[in-house]
A and B are shown apart, each in its own frame.
Chain A
C-alpha cells in the first residue's frame, strides 16, 4: 500500500531536518511504525532504498520500531492489544473496538554525520 509515497515523505522529512541542522549524510533513519498503520515494512524498505538514491540518505539503514496496536471496547470498556482492525474484543466478543494506539507512523530520529 502506497509505500512509495510514504518513502517520498520520509525523504521530505530528511530534507527539512537537514535545512535546520545541516549534515553531510544520514547513517540511520529510525521509524516508529504502528501495527495498525497499514504499512508493509518489507515493502517500505524496498521503496526507501529506491527513493533515497541520490540524496543525503542514500544507503542509510532503515530501522523500524514496531508499535503494537491498542484498542478500547465500546461495549465493555476494556483496553487491549489489537492486532487487526476487525478483531473482536477478547473480553466480551463485541466487534467495533475503537483504535486508541498503534495507528501512526513517525520518523523518530536520524543518525547523521
Chain B
C-alpha cells in the first residue's frame, strides 16, 4: 500500500461484474503505433555489453488516458453528459446527488456511478430515488480510474441523451490526475471545511470546471469566508465557475440545475459518431452486491 495516501493494488469490485485482481496482468497492449526506439551499442559501464537502452518516452498516465478516450467516445456517441464529482469525504456529494436526481426526475434521464473504497451505501441511496446506479468499490484504491468506469458503463446502460454522474472516491488529491472520460470535473467544497482548501489542494481546483460551494445554510455558524475561498480558488484556476448552494435546504439548486441543462445542450451538439468499446457491448449487468 502507498505510504502517502493508502492507495494500492487492492481488488476492484463492480456491482454485477465480479472482482478484478489489479496485479499482475492488468495491462493490455495499446493499439496503434507506439515508438519504442532501440539503441544497440549504447551501454552503461556497469552492465558492460550485455545491457542496452530502449528509448520509451511514454506518458505514465497514457494507459489511463487511452481508456478515458474510449469512454469519452462511447459517451459522446450516445450524447450522454458525464460529470465527475470530486470532493473530500463528507462535503455532501451524495446528498447533493440525491437532491439533484429528485429534481430532475421526469425531466431528464439520469444514471449514477458511485465510487467508494467499500460498501454499496451510496448506490443504494441513489437507487432509493428510482434512478439507476452502479457501485464501484475500489478496495484499497484511492480514486476511480478510466478502466473501472469503462467496465461499469455497459452494465449501467445509461440511455441516449442522459446525464451521467460519476461520484468519485472522497479524496481531494488523487482523483485530480485520472481522466475518466467525463465532460467536466465538478469539485464540491463545503463551508464546514477550511476556506483555504483551494490553496492546500490546488491540483483538484485546477482540474475542475465548476466549483459547488455546499452547505451554505451553515455559514452563520462557521468561520468560513466565501470571498476568501473564491479568491483562492480563482488564483489556482481563473476560469473556474462557482455556484453556492445547500443540498439540505435546496437554496441555490436552481442555478445548479440550469448549469446542468446548459452543459446538456453542449453535449447534444457533440459530433462523435464512433461507437467504441464494442468488446463490452454484450456484457450484462446484475444488480446483486452487498
Contact = CB atoms under 8 A, between A and B. Distances in A.
Contacts of B232: 86
B131 interface: no
B56 A95 contact: no
Interface residues of B, number: 55
A112 B54 contact: yes
B3 A109 contact: no
A20 B36 contact: yes
Contacts of B5: 1-2
B54 A43 contact: no
Nearest to A24: B50
A6 to B, nearest CB: 5
Interface in B179-215: 199, 202-203, 206
Contacts, number: 148
B58 A5 contact: no
B47 A27 contact: yes
Given A1-B4, A8-B9, A84-B202, A15 B177 contact: no
Interface in A7-25: 8-13, 15-17, 19-21, 23
Contacts of A15: 27
A28 B44 CA distance: 10
Contacts of A95: 234-235, 238
The B interface is mostly helix, strand or loop, or mixed, namely: loop
B22 A8 contact: yes
B57 interface: yes
Nearest to B22: A8
B44 A27 contact: yes
The A interface is mostly helix, strand or loop, or mixed, namely: mixed
Interface residues of A, number: 47
A105 interface: yes
Nearest to A98: B238
Interface stretch (B70-78, B80-88, B139-147): B139-147
Nearest to A29: B56
Max chain A C-beta neighbours (<10 A), residue from B26, B53, B199 = B53
A9 B55 contact: no
B61 interface: yes
Contacts of A8: 9, 22-23, 26
A4 B1 contact: yes
B7 A16 contact: no
Interface in B210-248: 232, 234-238
Contacts of B27: 11-12, 15-16
Contact of B54 (A46, A88, A109): A109
Interface string B17-31: 000001110110110
Nearest to A16: B29
Given A21-B36, A21-B38, A54-B24, A10 B47 contact: no
A4 to B, nearest CB: 4
B48 to A, nearest CB: 9
B52 interface: yes
User: Which 8 pairs across A and B sit closest by C-beta, in order of nearness?
Assistant: A12-B27, A96-B238, A95-B235, A2-B174, A4-B2, A85-B202, A105-B60, A110-B54
Interface of B: 1-5, 7-9, 22-24, 26-27, 29-30, 34, 36, 38, 44, 46-47, 50-64, 141-143, 145, 173-174, 176-178, 199, 202-203, 206, 232, 234-238
5 contacts: A17-B54, A104-B59, A105-B61, A108-B57, A113-B52
